[in-house]
């Protein structure tokens, strides 16, 4: 199945390499990058036509899907244009910066009968899958809290005008970079989010939109998730879920750019905590292959439209709270 990657920045290059993996169901057949220098740098590695115009990829009848790795504010218009052109659409997270924007994308894909995928690859990590299976089986009892932290200092080297540091493109510090992954994982476990409180500040860098973020999300069940994100500290990725019959903590050994696997620790009543070592896996590839399988009509995409929209509804509430300093309600997803 032939696809085009739109945007050849840092993550767009990673997605392009993943699509060129022999295990990928997709074949990278085209790319779009308006920056001539960036396109020139990527050309020898990708060995596919690289266009400056998005429309060229949409007009190519051989292209079956687009993978959007573009600034967040572009996702809605680009995804809708792809759907109307009959292309399946994979959108790097976030699907939108507002619930209304993400809903427009979902509606366009439904109307066109094309598959919509989203870059929530952390759902495909083996320890996260095992945690969800344990929770869904009742092995952790009543779920009460999630504690999570996904921080790094990679953005401190970016120029001040980089879109990833823009308050318009990336509100609330590192929320769209890393925090959204933790939010999405918490929603997958705890269900419907109903309110959010967030506080963001610049404490140890020149990142104007914030380098330190703390979020508390309350769910309809009464459970809560606390999410911490920093953009000026060495790498850490930790996700823990606590229930009445035990808890699980997952730690990444290294950043996803150069993964080394995970450690999962499980504690049950009356037993000492036990730790399992997980080898390196390919969650980005697994997500793209699940998208391809769904596009081919062989199986549903594992992340439902409703789940996608719940994450964006909660994300929007986090943005509002970081700006207002108040608890903000999460809009209902119908």
**Model pLDDT for residues 48-73, shown as the tens digit of each residue:** 999 999 999 999 999 999 999 999 99
**121, 151, 176 - which closes a domain:** 121
Q: Does a structural domain hold residue 26?
A: yes
What integer pLDDT is reported at residue 74 of this predicted model? Answer: 97
Integer CA distances (angstroms), 128 to 87, 187, 297, in order: 30, 13, 26
Give yes or no: residues 116 and 262 share one domain. no
CB within 8 A of 184, min separation 6: which ones?
93, 120, 122, 123, 311
Give yes or no: residues 37 and 18 share one domain. yes
Give yes or no: residues 89 and 139 share one domain. no
Q: Which residue in the block uniquely carries the two structure tokens 């295990």?
A: 23
Give yes or no: residues 283 and 175 share one domain. yes
Strand extents, DSSP E, the chain: 2-6, 27-32, 50-51, 65-68, 88-91, 116-118, 143-151, 193-201, 212-219, 224-230, 236-243, 246-252, 262-267, 274-278, 328-329
**Cα 192 versus chain centre, distance:** 18
Give yes or no: residues 157 and 241 share one domain. yes
Integer CA distances (angstroms), 185 to 127, 139, 191, in order: 12, 18, 10
Mean of the pLDDT values across residues 40-51?
A: 93
φ, ψ for residue 228, nearest 5 deg? -120, 135
Q: 324 is written with which tokens? A: 């207002």
More confident residue, 159 or 195: 195
pLDDT in tens, 152-169: 998 998 888 888 888 889
Into how many domains does the chain fold? Answer: 2
Q: Which of 162, 176, 167, 237 is nearest to 202 (CA)?
A: 167
State the CATH number of the domain containing residue 50.
Answer: 3.40.50.720
Predicted TM-score (pTM) of this structure = 0.96
Give yes or no: residues 132 and 241 share one domain. yes
Query: Percent of the chain scored above 70 by pLDDT?
Result: 100
259, 252 in Cβ contact below 8 A? Answer: yes
- What is the extent of the structural domain holding 22? 2-121
**121, 144, 177 - which closes a domain:** 121
Give yes or no: residues 219 and 243 share one domain. yes
Q: Does a structural domain hold residue 334?
A: no
309, 99 in Cβ contact below 8 A? Answer: yes
Computed over its alpha carbons, how large is the radius of gyration of the chain?
A: 19
38, 8 in Cβ contact below 8 A? Answer: yes
CB within 8 A of 50, min separation 6: which ones?
8, 30, 31, 32, 33, 39, 42, 43
Give yes or no: residues 240 and 130 share one domain. yes
Q: 2 is written with which tokens? A: 């032939």
Q: Does a structural domain hold residue 67?
A: yes
What integer pLDDT is reported at residue 152 of this predicted model? Answer: 95
Give yes or no: residues 220 and 246 share one domain. yes
Which is it for strands 193-201 and 212-219: parallel, antiparallel or unpaired? Answer: antiparallel
Mean of the pLDDT values across residues 311-333?
A: 96
**82, 97, 121 - which closes a domain:** 121
Mean of the pLDDT values across residues 186-194?
A: 98
What integer pLDDT is reported at residue 334 of this predicted model? Answer: 67
pLDDT in tens, 166-182: 888 999 999 999 999 99
State the CATH number of the domain containing residue 310.
Answer: 3.30.360.10
CB within 8 A of 23, min separation 6: which ones?
282, 285, 289
Please state, in angstroms and rounded to a whole number, the distance separating the CA atoms of residues 187 and 120: 12
């Amino acid at each position: 199945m032939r696809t085009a990657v739109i945007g050849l920045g840092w993550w767009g290059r990673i997605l392009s390499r993943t699509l060129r993996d022999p295990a990928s169901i997709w074949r990278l057949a085209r790319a779009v990058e308006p920056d001539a220098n960036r396109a020139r740098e990527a050309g020898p590695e990708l060995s596919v036509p690289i266009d400056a115009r998005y429309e060229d990829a949409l007009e190519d009848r051989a292209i079956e899907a687009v993978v959007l790795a573009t600034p967040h504010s572009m996702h809605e218009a680009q995804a809708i244009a792809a759907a109307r052109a009959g292309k399946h659409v994979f959108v790097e997270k976030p699907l939108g910066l507002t619930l209304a924007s993400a809903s427009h994308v979902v509606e366009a894909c439904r109307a066109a009968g094309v598959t919509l995928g989203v870059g929530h690859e952390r759902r495909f990590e083996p320890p996260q899958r095992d945690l969800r299976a344990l929770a869904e089986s009742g092995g952790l009892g009543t779920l009460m809290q999630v504690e999570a932290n996904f921080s790094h200092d990679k953005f401190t080297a970016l120029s001040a005008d980089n879109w990833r540091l823009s308050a318009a493109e990336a509100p609330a510090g590192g929320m769209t970079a890393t925090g959204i992954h933790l939010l999405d994982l918490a929603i997958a476990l705890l269900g419907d989010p109903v309110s959010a409180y967030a506080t963001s500040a610049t404490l140890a860098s020149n990142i104007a939109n914030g380098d330190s973020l703390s979020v508390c999300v309350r769910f309809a069940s009464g459970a809560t998730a606390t999410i911490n994100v920093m953009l000026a500290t060495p790498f850490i990725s930790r996700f823990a879920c606590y229930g009445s019959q035990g808890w699980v903590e997952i730690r990444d050994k290294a950043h996803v750019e150069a993964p080394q696997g995970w450690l999962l620790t499980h504690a049950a009543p009356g037993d000492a905590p036990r730790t399992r070592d997980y080898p390196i896996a390919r969650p980005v590839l697994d997500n793209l292959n699940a998208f391809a399988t769904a596009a081919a009509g062989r199986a549903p995409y594992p992340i439902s439209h409703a789940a996608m929209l719940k994450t964006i509804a909660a994300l929007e509430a986090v943005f509002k709270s970081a700006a207002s300093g108040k608890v903000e309600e999460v809009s209902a997803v119908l």
